[in-house]
Amino acid sequence: MRDYVREHPLFSLCGLNCGLCPRFHTAGNSRCPGCGGSDFSAKHPTCPIITCSRRQGGVEFCFECASYPCARYRAPPETDSFITYRNVIANCEKARTKGPAAYLADLGEKVGMLRTFLALYDDGRKKSFYCLAVNLLSTRDVREISEEMARATRGRDMTKKDAASRLESLLKERAAQKGIPLVLRKGEGT
C-alpha cells in the first residue's frame, strides 16, 4: 500500500467511517490517520480493498466501481474490529445516492460532535462507546443528544464522570428506541 493517499481519509474506500473510529481519535503510535491519510501505509501495509481499487482504475470509493456491488458487499463481515462494519453497505449507498460531498458533510458533522463528546464528556473510559454510538445513530439523533447535553451541563458544575454517565444514558436510550444494539460484534474466540 506504499504511497496510498486519498482525498477523503475520514470515509474509507470500502465504506467505513474512519473519522468515527477510536483509533482515529487516539494520540500516539497507534493512531490511525484514516483510509489513505498521512502515514496510512505504515499503519496498514496491506489492504485487499486498496489492491482491488488499483486493479479497477483507482476508484475513490468502492461504490464508484463498475463491479459494485461485488462479492464483498453481498457477504459483508459479520464481526467488527475497532469500528463497526454494520453500516458499510448503507454508508456506501447513502454516499452513492446523495453524492460523496453530501455524505462527507454529514460525516464531518458527526466527527465534530464526537470530538465534542470526547473533549467535554469523556471520563477516560467511553471513547470506544461514543465512537460506536455516533457511528450507528443518525446525525439527527446525535445532534439532538448533543444539544440536550449542552443544555444539561450549561451553568452546572458537573464532573466528567457524571457528564459521561449522562451522555451514555442518552445514547443508550436513543439506540434502544431505534432498536440499535450498541455493542461491537465479536468473532468466535474473541
Q: How many domains does the chain have?
A: 2
The answer as to whether 151 is a domain residue is yes
- Residue 76 shares a structural domain with residue 121: no
Instruction: Give the structural domain span for 61.
Output: 1-98
Q: What is the pLDDT of residue 190?
A: 45
The answer as to whether 189 is a domain residue is no
What's the Cα-to-Cα distance from 178 to each of 20, 35, 137, rounded to whole Å?
20, 29, 8
Asked whether the beta carbons of 103 and 95 are under 8 A apart, the reply is yes
Write the DSSP symbol of residue 20.
G
pTM: 0.91
- Residue 122 shares a structural domain with residue 169: yes
- Residue 81 shares a structural domain with residue 120: no
> Comparing C-alpha atoms, which of 85, 183, 94 is closest to residue 133?
183
The answer as to whether 162 is a domain residue is yes
Please give the full DSSP string across 21-65, using - where no structure is assigned: STTTT--STT----TT-TTHHHH-S--HHHHHHHHTT--SSGGGS
Asked whether the beta carbons of 11 and 107 are under 8 A apart, the reply is yes
Asked whether the beta carbons of 76 and 23 are under 8 A apart, the reply is no
The answer as to whether 188 is a domain residue is no
pLDDT along the chain (190 residues), means of 10: 82 95 92 90 85 90 92 85 90 95 97 97 95 97 97 89 96 98 78
Q: What is the pLDDT of residue 188?
A: 60
Instruction: Give the CA-trace dihedral at 168, 85, 58, 56, to 10 degrees.
Output: -170
- Residue 85 shares a structural domain with residue 125: no
- Number of separate helices (H) and strands (E) present in the chain: 8, 0
